[in-house]
Amino acid sequence: MSFKDPKGIAKAGVETGAKKAKLSWDKALVAGFLAGAYIAFAAIVAISVSSGLRPEIWGTLPTFFAGTVFALGLILVIIAGSELLTGNMALVPLAAFKGRATIARLLENWLFVLIGNLLGSLFVAYFLAVQTGVLTGELPLARLGAIAEAKGMTETSWEIFLRGLGCNWLVCLAVWMALGAEDIGGKVLAIFFPIMAFVAIGFDHVVANMFFLPAAIFAHAVDGLTWWDAIHNWIFAFLGNVTGAAVFVASAYWYLYARDDDPEAQKGAGDVETNAAGESGGNGGQAAAPSGSRRARFGDGMGDAEQRRRELMRR
């Protein structure tokens, strides 16, 4: 199973981020919709496999079971192809650090991918989770309600921010390692463990919460849960996700593996080689000059002798 080393991953990350920054707004919107739907599908599966497991018997294992299947979302995003905001929070800044993307393009990408992610999450939450009755049964509804109540009503702003930071640190490590894999099996394996970890820990993923909280509101799973509770969570989860991605992944790995490849550094190295060659050539030219002068003087002597010989013959 072949794979890239960290420096190779950094180069691939810059190229991927640059491509994402150049994506047109309509493609970013459509690809964002797909990614939001894929994360929502994973959330439905996570609720389904962890429903009805009583905490007094199973302890915290339900979150572990949820994490093992929630990796499906990012697997679909990366292998099938779509645009997930939380991954772009690392890759597009990485390209910007290398001068391959502007701040304006970064913000435009984030905006349309965010809108697309939200629309995809809401679509699946309303039509495929609630209207189908998949999550309105007694056990899945109770599980959905427990998740939504914790994220929308129990966690403080500071807790949401820190959980968002930890979440996207792990999510972007999954994206980072998936870039290093050369085959589908390697990408799936690279994605699985970080995603399982953040779900099992209980961290906050802004796009996942775009499914959990609206689905709970649509299904009336939690009394008193409002849209402001959802928006409040999204704001601080977003800020935490940005920090985890841009600081602890993009900035850290740019500093370690991409910064030394700056064009200026490469240009400087080339200049040294060129100057050295120039100096060598100059010395060679100086050394060659006396030889050339001797040849010129020798030639002049031969010409004088020939001229004298012709004068003697005429006489």
> What was the pLDDT predicted at 304?
58
Per-residue H/E/C for 182-207: CCHHHHHHHHHHHHHHHHHHCCCCHH
Q: Is residue 222 part of a domain?
A: yes
Pair 217, 304 in one domain: no
Pair 198, 275 in one domain: no
Pair 284, 219 in one domain: no
Pair 218, 249 in one domain: yes
* Mean pLDDT score, 70-91: 98
Pair 199, 289 in one domain: no
Q: How many domains is the chain partitioned into structurally?
A: 2
Pair 287, 233 in one domain: no
Q: Is residue 294 part of a domain?
A: yes
Pair 148, 10 in one domain: yes
Pair 270, 257 in one domain: no
Higher pLDDT, 311 or 162: 162
> What was the pLDDT predicted at 260?
79
* Mean pLDDT score, 233-245: 98
Encode pLDDT of 137-149 as tens digits: 999 999 999 999 9
Tell me the residue range of the domain where 47 lies: 6-261
Pair 169, 87 in one domain: yes
> What was the pLDDT predicted at 154?
97
Q: Is residue 1 part of a domain?
A: no
Query: If pLDDT is split at 50, 70 and 90, which confidence band does 297 have?
Result: very low
Type of residue at 204: D
Encode pLDDT of 221-234 as tens digits: 999 999 999 999 99
Higher pLDDT, 283 or 242: 242
CATH of the domain at 97: 1.20.1080.10
Is the alpha carbon torsion for 211, 213, 218, 219 positive or negative? Answer: positive
> What was the pLDDT predicted at 263?
53
* Mean pLDDT score, 133-160: 97
Q: Which residues are CB-contacts of 234 (< 8 A; sequence separation ≥ 6)?
A: 206, 209, 210, 213
- Burial class, 69, CB count within 10 angstroms (exposed 0-12 / middle 13-18 / buried 19+): buried
* Mean pLDDT score, 99-119: 98
pLDDT at 287 over 50: no
Range of lowest pLDDT (24-33, 56-65, 105-114, 272-281): 272-281
Last residue of a domain, one of 238, 261, 284: 261
* Mean pLDDT score, 35-60: 95
pLDDT over 90, % of the chain: 80
Q: Is residue 310 part of a domain?
A: yes
**Mean pLDDT in the chain?**
88
